[in-house]
Structure 1
Amino acid sequence: MRLYAFLLVLSSLMLLSACNTQAIYQDDLYNPPVYWGRHVVKPGETLYSIAWRYGRDYRELGNANGINPPYNIKAGQVLRLDLRGNVTSAGQTGASNKPSAAPVPSRSASRQPAPRPEPKPTVSRPPDRSSPLTGQSQTVSNVNWRWPHVGTVIAGYSTSGKVNKGIDIAGKEGDSVRAAASGNVVYAGSGLLGYGNLIIVNHNEHYLSAYAHNRKILVREGEDVKAGQVIAELGNSGTDRPKLHFEIRKNGNPVDPAHYLPSR
């Protein structure tokens, strides 16, 4: 029994040590989505960053915990990650006569491979050629998208093999990282494992974008940003080389940025 316990602890430590920069690339135990357990809010966290960490839609997570816009939370607050029952304004779980917002996945469901990528969204209108960054932008799902950096894509979006929830763009230390679309900064910090210095921008009720591994963050939470605005300096925080890791999430789910960004 002692040997078994030792091996269990050792394997757990090995898993934790592996979940650093690979956490955003590998579909392992700690990968979202997660629909069980609880999360204790830490200083600097926002509902958006917590939802991002667990692969959840921020509105759905807020609703499951009785938190309404502007989704303010505080350190020490306990958030339920399941969807059962309802929550009173004081945060107490209670019975509900209404059906839950979504079926409750089993504990093992949180460990299933990521769903297949959705079909390429329909472009709503011809590209706007005014972007100072790449010479063009593209409006998809009412968001005017443009490239956040001019560098070469060195790793694409992938849901199998070496999983990548976004794209990696090569660059040099200090290069400008730009907002891919106009929106509001809902997270700016280094609290998400594997992302280094991270910025999350909310574009509308469906879409968020993220910019990871920055050397320096140039915007604050709550700040409105314009498409093409410089929001950070490219770096290698949380990774082994200077690069920008860029993600787009729709309703909490990672989607392929190539389906949204204009052709180069």
Structure 2
Amino acid sequence: MLTSKRDQGKLDLENVNHGTAMLKKRRKMTSEQAQHIGRHGKADLHMHSTYSDGCATIEEILAHVQNNTDLDVIAITDHDVIDGSLRARDLWSKGSYRFDFVVGEEVSTTQGHLLGLFIEKRIPNGLSMARSIDLIHEQGGLAVVAHPLHRFFRHSCQRSVMDHIHASKDVWFDGVETWNASFCGIYANYIAMGTNREVYRLPELGNSDAHTLSAIGSGVTWFNGQSAAEIRAAIEQGASAPGGKMWDMQAYYHWARYLMNKEQRAARRPAIA
């Protein structure tokens, strides 16, 4: 059931962002800082599979996270579909993986991209930011604005929209992605961190926005714990912090090659009469 900010127990502005209180205005959390304050958990809650525009299958992602990363929690957030994430959870639940899993979706609203986390049903694309947030909250999920405040990226939520949501008493963001490791975060990460810490004071996340296996874990959210329930609690309590690095050239190369091959396969496919 949708609740108001007050009913949800929103923290006041003095406390809501204590996850980044020790950081400078435009700085992410380093691994040394995270370890020093006991924030050992690492989550990556924004990545894509072949169910949208990612290179890797669900099986490949789960195996890669298990064998090649030290992530504690992941979410698969394909564009405007939830089927892959639900399938991933089903496979994860039947396996013996050391990491926890969150069902998610990256929603294409008319005003920018939005992560829906801890949801069970697809959020339709093409709705307003406010309506999409409401639908996520109706499912008991968390609404996190993805790669915001990039001036030239058409899928980036802009300042006017964030200001409107911030001023509303009936709709709210649960967090903001202030470190996006992809091209979406180039220069915009620092704007997002600075603006959030000055104005919105939302809980902050760092994510990879991975479209290739090698990019998974490049962006991370530091938190105290190891489970999906604990990363959710950290976000709700304003105790999460962004960290990580940007994609390396290998990730760009693999993704570009995958997209070109995909286009070539589509061009060779016989037309349906």
User: TM exceeds 0.5?
Assistant: no
TM-score by length of 1: 0.30
Name the larger-Rg structure. Answer: 1
Select the structure with the greater relative contact order (CA < 8 A; seq sep ≥ 6).
2
The structure with the greater share of residues assigned to helix is 2
The structure with the greater share of residues assigned to strand is 1
TM-score by length of 2: 0.29
